[in-house]
Amino acid sequence: MARRKTPEQVALMRKAGRVVALMHEAVREAAVPGALLSDLDRVASEVLVRSGATSNFLGYHGYPAVLCASPNDTVLHGVPNGSRLEEGDLLSVDCGAVIDGWHGDAAFSMVVGGDAANPEAAALIGTVEEALYAGIAALRHGGRVGDVAKAVTTVARAAGCDVVKHYVGHGIGRQMHEQPDVPNLWPFEGPNPRLRAGMCVAVEPIITSGRARVATEVDGWTVKTLDGSLSAHAEHSVHITHDGPVILTAL
């Protein structure tokens, strides 16, 4: 079970979360047709330096970058390399920051060149964002992590999308990944612990336009859909309070 955070600890997590939001803002601006994925990593790194924060992605289990940049059928953990973005690409970006030992972690998806360049991708992104906020709304004192999974799955299935099973949300605090796991797919096997005020968790739905069967590429990081269908990813770090959930990774 995740340890409950004190107000002082949550304030530090809010600082880290704000840096993550600034990284997202900078990467969105830089993610234009013709940009290299490695350009996005550089831009995110510059935000970290300016903010006096460090990356919780770089070096994590050997990961070689400060963000994950996952285009089109890449589900997550895409390494930002020399590939160029094209107009209409669906791009998912996941990154984090650490301030004074406290973590923030969040992800977003976008259509390169604007939603009109790929309406199918834009619709998928709209669904994953709806699923994210439905999952966040389910974070209530006395509830269970399964409430999040039910909310996410309900939104995704209503839109004809599938939910990736094996990658889940998580507790967050002194470590990027803490207990409890927060599944996205309902029903699920395993623990279904209660949520308590003071806990901080990352809600992280990942959905696909086709079947949510995935495999890891030979680089050991990149995860793709087996059928080549599009995937979208969204995430916020959230503090659970008696008055409801509070997003930590927003400006």
DSSP state of 3: P
DSSP state of 211: -
- Our measurement of the distance from residue 86's CA atom to the centroid of its chain's CA atoms, rounded to an integer in Å, reads 22
The residues that bridge with 129 in the sheet, in sequence order, are: none
Percentage helix, strand, coil, to 5, in the chain? 30, 30, 40
Residues making up the annotated binding site for substrate are 77, 177
C-alpha to C-alpha distance for 29 and 239, rounded to whole angstroms: 28
Residues making up the annotated binding site for a divalent metal cation are 94, 105, 170, 204, 235
Sorted by sequence, the CB contacts under 8 Å of residue 224 that are 6+ apart come out as 73, 74, 75, 214, 215, 217
Q: What is the DSSP string of 139-199?
A: --TT-BHHHHHHHHHHHHHHTT-EE-SS--EEE-SSSSSEEEEE-SSSS-SS--PBP-TT-
C-alpha to C-alpha distance for 30 and 242, rounded to whole angstroms: 38
Residues making up the annotated binding site are 77, 94, 105, 170, 177, 204, 235
